């Protein structure tokens, strides 16, 4: 065996050993996630790779200025030390994945959310959206609406979602959201008031976004989360009769808007055409005025009789009009003539 082969063997062996160590003792953590390391059935430590955050005890808190807990492998490869194989292990748990449909128009409430099924994961996202379908929520006047509520959640206490609830925390999350939304909508006096309300972030569900409010305080105790954004992207009256009446009203309003838009477009077009016609007539009049002036100037002499000049100019202009580009005249009778003989006027292209 040559020295080159020996060196190559040593390098390959060293690399293989390093890779084996990394596989056995380290785990890869995606950015924005939280990982749980267990010794047997006991939580040993919690690892997070969340920008500007760290796990302090069970809480996800802000990093202090200049503080950085990541080592070289974590910074460059997202690899974190787990522990001795057979003793330490990464907690795996199941998450029920759901997302709101991009298009809900024309779909019944039961189809507003797409169920993506259960998937096993080894880490929890520190921030995520979650849709909830709330049926038959009462307003202040006892009318009911079906709602699609989407909450943007962030993890505040890492312990309840996974070590305590084994990753199955969405049921509790949804129940807490429904109770809060029920209370909010009971304060809305009527369907008309609900229709006019703001349903995006900062709107009627803004109490859910208050990080110091009672809702988030209760939510953190139950599932370790805070809601930082809440919207109602889709809703419909629960009563089919009210829903049909509102649909008719909506269609009538859209038709009215369409008529107004069409009328505005028509009047704008007619206005432009009228203005163009006026400008064209004005230009023709100005050109005719110049033509008349030039004709008269050519006939005037120092001793000319104004009456004779005027009649001569009229005759010339009449002849010009009769033989012009747009003239349809084919015969011309001389003004003031006692003759009954028509004079044929030769026009363009045989006119």
**For 203-253, how does the pLDDT look when each residue is reduced to its tens digit (9 = 90+)?**
999 999 999 999 999 999 999 999 999 999 999 998 777 666 656 666 556
Q: Output the DSSP codes for 47-58.
A: EEE-TTEEEETT
Choice among 40-49, 122-131, 181-190, 250-259 with the minimum mean pLDDT: 250-259
Q: Give the mean pLDDT of 123-141.
A: 95
Q: Do the Cβ atoms of 34 and 48 come closer than 8 Å?
A: yes
| Model confidence, pTM | 0.66
* Rounded Cα distance, 18 and 25, in Å: 10
Q: What's the token pair of residue 31?
A: 């950015």
- CA 70, 38, 120, 18 torsion-angle sign: positive
Mean of pLDDT over the chain: 81
Angle (CA) 186-188-190 rounded to 5° is 110
**Which element (helix H / strand E) includes 246?**
helix 240-299
Choice among 15-29, 109-123, 190-204, 333-347 with the minimum mean pLDDT: 333-347
pLDDT at 291: 65
| Nearest to 153, CA basis, from 87, 215, 93, 78 | 215
Band (77; pLDDT cuts 50, 70, 90): confident
Please state the three-class secondary structure of 23-49 as a single string: HHHEEECCCCEEEEEEECCEEEEEEEE
């Amino acid at each position: 065996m040559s020295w080159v082969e020996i060196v190559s063997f040593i390098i390959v062996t060293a690399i293989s050993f390093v890779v084996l160590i990394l596989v056995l003792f380290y785990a890869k953590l995606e950015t924005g996630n939280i990982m749980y390391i267990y010794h047997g059935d006991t939580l040993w430590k919690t690892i997070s790779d969340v920008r500007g955050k760290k796990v302090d005890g069970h809480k996800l808190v802000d990093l202090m200025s200049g503080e950085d807990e990541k080592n070289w492998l974590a910074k460059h490869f997202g690899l974190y030390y787990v522990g001795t194989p057979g003793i330490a292990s990464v907690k795996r748990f199941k998450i029920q994945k759901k997302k709101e449909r991009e298009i809900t128009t024309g779909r019944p409430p039961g189809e507003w959310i797409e169920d993506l099924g259960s998937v096993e994961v080894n880490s929890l996202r520190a921030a995520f959206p979650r849709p909830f379908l709330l049926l038959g929520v009462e307003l202040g006047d006892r009318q009911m609406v079906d709602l699609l509520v989407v909450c943007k959640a962030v993890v505040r206490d890492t312990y309840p979602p996974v070590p305590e609830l084994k990753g199955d925390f969405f049921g509790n999350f949804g129940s807490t959201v429904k109770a809060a939304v029920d209370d909010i909508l009971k304060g809305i006096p009527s369907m008309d008031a609900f229709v006019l309300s703001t349903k995006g972030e900062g709107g009627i569900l803004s109490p859910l976004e208050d990080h110091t409010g009672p809702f988030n305080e209760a939510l953190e105790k139950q599932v370790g989360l805070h809601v930082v954004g809440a919207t109602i992207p889709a809703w419909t009256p629960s009563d089919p009769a009210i829903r049909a009446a509102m649909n008719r009203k909506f269609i009538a309003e859209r038709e009215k808007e369409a008529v107004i838009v069409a009328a505005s477009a028509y009047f704008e077009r007619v206005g432009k055409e009228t203005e163009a016609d006026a400008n064209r007539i004005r230009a023709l009049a100005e050109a005719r005025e110049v033509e008349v002036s030039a004709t008269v100037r050519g006939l005037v002499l120092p001793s000319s009789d104004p009456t004779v000049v005027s009649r001569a100019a009229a005759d010339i202009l009449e002849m010009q009009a009769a033989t012009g580009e747009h003239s349809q005249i084919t015969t011309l009778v001389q003004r003031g003539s006692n003759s009954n003989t028509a004079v044929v006027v030769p026009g363009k292209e045989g006119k």
